[in-house]
Amino acid sequence: MTFGPSPRRLAPIKVVGMMASPGELDIALRAVARLPLPPEGGRLEVGPGCVHVVPGHDDRAARIYTGAAIFVLALALRVQGCSAHVRLGGSPSRPATIFFTRPRPPMPRDRRLAAALEAPAPAARLTGVTRAELERAAAVEGARLRFTGRDRAVLSTRGNGPADQLAAGMALARVLLSAASRGVPVRFLPTGAEDGCAQAVLVLGRAARA
């Protein structure tokens, strides 16, 4: 089962022993297709009680996109009442897994982020309060968002291995959706391979529309 920009090409799957149905996974994959990021693609390997997420390519851009896709997949499943938890750092062939436990009602925070993916809030200024919220959003996923100017920020991780890049993608997705929920546009700029633990540059607010 693939994910990426063309949800209509999804293959039918049979899910055994999972607490997420094929229909719920299909809805989650369609949410991934709405990610405001350059699509890199990838695949899902569905097993009992879990979904393994595999990048389409073995490079940083693909892993960051896959991390963002993982975040949105888990988010979209949680707002449907599935309890979805992410574990990074598995085997090289299966670097990330979404596990399912008991169903539970979605949290208000998850509802807000999922709604922002569907339709961003009305345009608003990038305030100090919003900057602080975006910094916290990155920190939730183990990354750091550091503002280097009024409308620019750098997203970084402690290391630069595959798991760090997946975590950066998850943080990027949370930051993008948190900003969208506040009506702040964000433009994503990838960094070069020589930039070490800096995983992405974000342009925010009015500058993102330029």
Please check the confidence at residue 159 and state whether its pLDDT lies above 60: yes
Last residue within a domain, chosen from 41, 66, 100: 100
- 109-144 residue pLDDT tens: 999 999 999 999 999 999 999 999 999 999 999 999
Q: For 3-29, give the secondary structure using H, E and C.
A: ECCCHHHCCCCCCCCCCCCHHHHHHHH
67 with 137, same domain: the answer is: no
Final residue of a structural domain among 100, 130, 153: 100
Domain that includes residue 93, residue range? 2-100
65 & 141 share domain: no
Q: Same structural domain for residues 92 and 166?
A: no
User: How many domains does the chain fold into?
Assistant: 2
Given 51, 70, 100, the domain boundary residue is 100
Residues 80 and 157 in one domain: no
Whether residue 124 is found in the same domain as residue 89: no
Q: What is the pTM of this model?
A: 0.84
Q: Specify if 105 maps to a domain.
A: no
Q: Are residues 96 and 125 in the same domain?
A: no
Contact between 124 and 114 under an 8 Å Cβ cutoff? The reply is no
Q: Which two tokens stand for residue 175?
A: 């930051």
Residue 11 and residue 79 share a domain: yes
Question: In Å, how far are 61, 66, 160, 199 from 193, measured between CA atoms?
Answer: 10, 17, 10, 9
- pLDDT tens for 63-75 read 999 899 899 989 9
